[in-house]
Structure 1
Amino acid sequence: MADTGPGAAVLERQGIDALVSELQARGHTVIGPTVRDGAVVLDELDSAARLPYGWGVEHEAGRYRLRRREDGAAFAHSAGPQSWKKYLHPERERQWTADRDCDGTMAVRADEAEPVSYAFLGVHPCDLRAIGIQDRVLSGGRHPDDGYRRRRASAFLVVAECAEPGATCFCVSMGAGPGVSGDAGYDLALTELVDDGHRFLVRAGSAAGAEVLAALPRRAADDRTLGAARDVVERAATRMGRSMPPVDLRVLMADSLAAERWNDVASRCLTCGNCTMVCPTCFCTTTEDVTDLTGDHAERWRRWESCFDLDFSLLHGGPVRDSGRSRYRQWLTHKVGTWHDQFGSSGCVGCGRCIVWCPVGIDITEEAWALDRERAEGPGRDRPGNTGPAGGTAGAEGAP
C-alpha cells in the first residue's frame, strides 16, 4: 500500500516539468524513461516532455512491444530492458592507464571518473529494492566499490509507484512492490493518477526530498486523492502476471540440486547471459587489458561478466561449470537461495526482465514452480495444489 502519511502533496502534470527543472538547478543530471528504438529506455532528460506520456508496454516470455495508451500516463509501463544499474554500476569502466616513456620509465595512473550527480526519475519499487541490494553488495563488506559509492552517495531517487504491472511481473512474491514504504530509501515518491484529471500524489522520503518538494508548485493532498492513490497500488498488487511458489526458496533450491528439471531447462537455455545483463542486481565483472600498436600504452577495463559464460569459472584445469545445466543451476540457486547467505536477502526483486529478454522465453517463476512440484512428488510426498507460475495470485516472499 502506498505510504500516504503527513506531508503528502499533489502535483499537476506541469509540476513534473518543474521537478525536472528543480533537479537540474541543483546540479543533477536527470535520468528517466523515454521512448526510443521501440522500447521504453533510460536516457538523460532535458525536460519532462521526453517522458513516455501515453505509452505502455505489452510483454510476455521472450516478447516485448510498445502500445499506445489513451490516458496519457507517463509511468504506466513495467520494466524495460535497462535498469538503473547502467548508471550506478556501468557496463564498462576504465580502471587505470600505463604509459612507457622513451627511456623505459613506466607511469601508471589510476582512473577516477569525473563524479556525476544523478537524479533518477521514475524508479519503480522493484528497481528501488534492486538499488538497495546493490548498495549492500557493492558498498558493504571488506572490499567496497569506490566508484559505485561515489555515484550512489550523490544520487537523488524519485520513485513512481506501479499502477499497471506487466504479464511477467511478480514483485509481490518477492516483497518488492508495487508500492513503497516510508523507510524504503527514496527521496520522493510519486503515485500517478489519471482517473479524474492527470495528477501525482507526491511525498518526501528524505530531507533532500522535502527540500525539493517545498520548491515545487503543489497543493495539499485531499482525502479523495489519498484514497485513489491507495486504491491504485492495492489493485496493482492483485494483478501480478506471475508469482513464485509460496515456499522458502532457499530451502527449495538446497533440496533441488540433483533435480531432473535442471536437464529440462538446460535443453532450452542458450547460455547467452541475457538474463544476467538485464537483471538489476547481477553484479559480476571481469577485467580486460588492452594495448596500442606500439606497446607503450596499456589500459585495464572492467566490464560486466555473466556466470553463463564458459570462461566465467575457468581455472587452470578448465571450467568448473562446463555444462549449461550447471551454469543455469548456479544462477538460479544463487539468485534466490545462497544470495541470502552472502548478503542477507534474495537477489531477485520480481521485475520479470529475465523472462522478457530471454530469447527462448525461459521463465524463472515457471522453473521454481517446477522444482517445487518435483520435490513434492518425491517418495512419500503429496503434490501441492497450485495453479502454476502465472496464476496471478500473490505468493509468499521468496524467503522470510
Structure 2
Amino acid sequence: MTDPDAVLDRGGLDALVRVLKRRGRTVIGPTLRDRAIVLAELDSADELPYGWGVEAEAGRYRVRRRQDEAAFAHSAGPQSWKSFLHPRRVRQWTADRDADGGMTVREEEPAGVSYAFLGVRPCDLRAVRILDRVTTGGRYRDPAYDARRSGAFLIAAECTEPGATCFCVSMGSGPAVDAGYDLALTEVVDRDGHRFLCRSGSEEGAAVLAELPRRGADDATRTAAAGAVSRAAERMGRSMPPVDLRALMRDTLEADRWDDVTSRCLSCGNCTMVCPTCFCTTTEDITDLTGDHAERWRRWDSCYDLDFTLLHGGPVRATPRSRYRQWLTHKIGTWHDQFGSSGCVGCGRCIVWCPTGIDLTEEAHALHREATEKAQRDAGERGTAR
C-alpha cells in the first residue's frame, strides 16, 4: 500500500497516462483543439493544455496563453463528462425483415469501454454523482449509462483558478474535492517548481499511484496546494443569493422577472446541452429506403424544445417564459424533490455558452430582490391598514 498522498512531476503525470492505458483504459482529458479546451482521448500527458487558460464571460469564451505551464488552470470548457457517460446519441435496437416477412429485433449491447477521466473538476465530479443518482439510483437503471460509468477511473483536479462565471462555492461543489474520486490532483506552480500533490481515494487509486514515479508529500507542497484551493474559493466570479434557492423558486413563480429574462431567451437549448447534469432524451426511429432495416436511437432533448411537452392538444409549455421558468425552477428547485439535491453544480457553462449572455445567478438575485421588495410592500400595506 502506497502513502495516502505523494508528489508527482510532469513525468509522473505522463507515467499516469501510460499506466492507465496499460491497464486497458481509454484516457480522456482536456486538450487544446479548435481554439477551445475540449475533452478528448489522450495518448500521453503531453497533450494536456500546458500553459493555456481561458477568458470566459456571459456569452463569451476565449483561450489565452498563460505566463506559466500549468495544465489545469482553466475553467470549464464547452463539454462535460456527460458527453462520454451519457452520449448525445445511443442506438437502442435494430430490426431486420426476415424471409417470411416477419422482423427480427436485436437489442443493442451497451458499449464495453473502460474509461479513465483525467482532470475532473470538483463541480464536474459532483455532476457525475448527480447523474449516477438520476440514471442508476432509482427503480429503473439506464444500461447504456451504467456500462460506461461502471468501473470508470476518476482523476480529479482541484480548482486553483476559477473562471469569471464560476460559482461552485455557492452550490457546495468546489473548489476542493471531498469524495467520489480514485485519485485527486492539486497543481502547484511556484518558486519550488511545477508539481502535483496526488492523493488516492480508492484501492485502485492507491494501486495506480504505487506504480508511478513519485516522492513523498512534503509540508511545503501540502501548504501551497491548500493555499491555492483556498484562494480559489475567495475568487469566484459569480455567486447565488445566500437564501434557500428551493424556496425562492417555489415562491416566485409569478414574478415579473420571468418576463424580463424570457424577452432575451432564444429557446435554443444551449444551456441544457452544455449543462453537466441535464439528462433529458427522446427517441427517434429510422429505416432504410427498402423498409427492410429499422433502428431506434435515443438522443439528447431539451425542455426548451417546443415539442418536448407535446401532447395530443399541443405543447404543455407553449411560451419561452414557461420553458425557461421550467428549466431554472427544476434545476435549482424541484430537482430536490425528485433526486434529493440541487441539479446545479456552479460550473457556469450555461452562462458562457448562452448566445445572449443570460446568467442564471443574475436571474436568481433578481428574483430574490423582487421577492424581498414585494414582502416589504406587503408589510407596509398591512401596517397602514392597522
CA contact (8 A) 2:111 2:147 kept: no
Instruction: Return the offset for 1:255.
Output: 0.4
CA contact (8 A) 2:111 2:148 kept: no
TM-score (norm 2): 0.96
Moved more, 80-89 or 110-119: 110-119
- Residue 338 of structure 2 corresponds to residue 337 of structure 1: no
Tell me which of 337, 357, 369 is aligned to 2:353. Answer: 357
Instruction: Return the offset for 1:380.
Output: 2.9
- Residue 57 of structure 2 corresponds to residue 69 of structure 1: no
What is the CA–CA distance in structure 1 between the aligned matches of 2:64 and 2:34, rounded to whole Å? 13
CA contact (8 A) 1:286 1:304 kept: yes
Tell me which of 295, 313, 330 is aligned to 1:317. Answer: 313
What is the CA–CA distance in structure 1 between the aligned matches of 2:273 and 2:58, rounded to whole Å? 16
- Residue 91 of structure 2 corresponds to residue 110 of structure 1: no
Greater helix fraction, Structure 1 or Structure 2:
2
Tell me which of 345, 362, 366 is aligned to 2:362. Answer: 366
TM-score (norm 1): 0.93
Q: 1:48-94: CA deviations, max 9, x gaps?
A: 11100000000100000000012100000000000000000000000
- Residue 43 of structure 2 corresponds to residue 46 of structure 1: yes
Name the structure 2 match of 1:192: 187
Name the structure 2 match of 1:82: 79
Q: 1:245-274: CA deviations, max 9, x gaps?
A: 000000000000000000001100000000
CA contact (8 A) 1:339 1:346 kept: yes
Root mean square deviation, CA, Å: 1.1
- Residue 241 of structure 2 corresponds to residue 251 of structure 1: no
Instruction: Return the offset for 1:114.
Output: 3.3
Query: Which runs of 5 or more residues in structure 2 are unaligned?
Result: 380-386
What is the CA–CA distance in structure 2 between the aligned matches of 1:23 and 1:249, rounded to whole Å? 41
Instruction: Return the offset for 1:382.
Output: 9.7
Mapping of 1:159-238 within 5 angstroms?
A: 159-181=156-178, 184-195=179-190, 196-238=192-234
Instruction: Return the offset for 1:154.
Output: 1.7
What is the CA–CA distance in structure 2 between the aligned matches of 1:343 and 1:130, rounded to whole Å? 13
SS of equivalent residue, structure 1 residue 311: helix
Q: 1:211-257: CA deviations, max 9, x gaps?
A: 00011011110110110011000000000000000000000000000
What is the CA–CA distance in structure 1 between the aligned matches of 2:288 and 2:32, rounded to whole Å? 38
Instruction: Return the offset for 1:103.
Output: 2.0
SS of equivalent residue, structure 1 residue 378: helix
Name the structure 1 match of 2:274: 278
What is the CA–CA distance in structure 1 between the aligned matches of 2:140 and 2:313, rounded to whole Å? 28
Tell me which of 252, 262, 270 is aligned to 2:258. Answer: 262
Mapping of 1:370-385 within 5 angstroms?
A: 370-380=366-376
What is the CA–CA distance in structure 2 between the aligned matches of 1:295 and 1:149, rounded to whole Å? 32
CA contact (8 A) 1:376 1:382 kept: no
Tell me which of 343, 346, 351 is aligned to 2:342. Answer: 346
What is the CA–CA distance in structure 2 between the aligned matches of 1:265 and 1:300, rounded to whole Å? 37
CA contact (8 A) 2:249 2:333 kept: yes
Q: 1:15-60: CA deviations, max 9, x gaps?
A: 0000000000111000000011110000000111110000000010
Name the structure 2 match of 1:10: 7
Q: 1:343-373: CA deviations, max 9, x gaps?
A: 0000000000000000000000000000000
Tell me which of 21, 24, 28 is aligned to 2:25. Answer: 28
CA contact (8 A) 1:170 1:351 kept: yes
SS of equivalent residue, structure 2 residue 90: strand
CA contact (8 A) 1:179 1:233 kept: yes
What is the CA–CA distance in structure 1 between the aligned matches of 2:375 and 2:159, rounded to whole Å? 42
SS of equivalent residue, structure 1 residue 64: strand
What is the CA–CA distance in structure 2 between the aligned matches of 1:142 and 1:153, rounded to whole Å? 17
Instruction: Return the offset for 1:140.
Output: 1.1
What is the CA–CA distance in structure 1 between the aligned matches of 2:298 and 2:342, rounded to whole Å? 25
Mapping of 1:380-399 within 5 angstroms?
A: 380=376
Name the structure 2 match of 1:129: 126
CA contact (8 A) 1:157 1:187 kept: yes
Name the structure 1 match of 2:382: none
SS of equivalent residue, structure 2 residue 75: coil
What is the CA–CA distance in structure 1 between the aligned matches of 2:96 and 2:377, rounded to whole Å? 66
Which amino acid is the alignment partner of residue 372 of structure 1? H
Query: Which runs of 5 or more residues in structure 1 are unaligned?
Result: 1-5, 384-400
SS of equivalent residue, structure 1 residue 138: helix
What is the CA–CA distance in structure 2 between the aligned matches of 1:320 and 1:113, rounded to whole Å? 33
SS of equivalent residue, structure 2 residue 376: coil
CA contact (8 A) 1:29 1:117 kept: yes
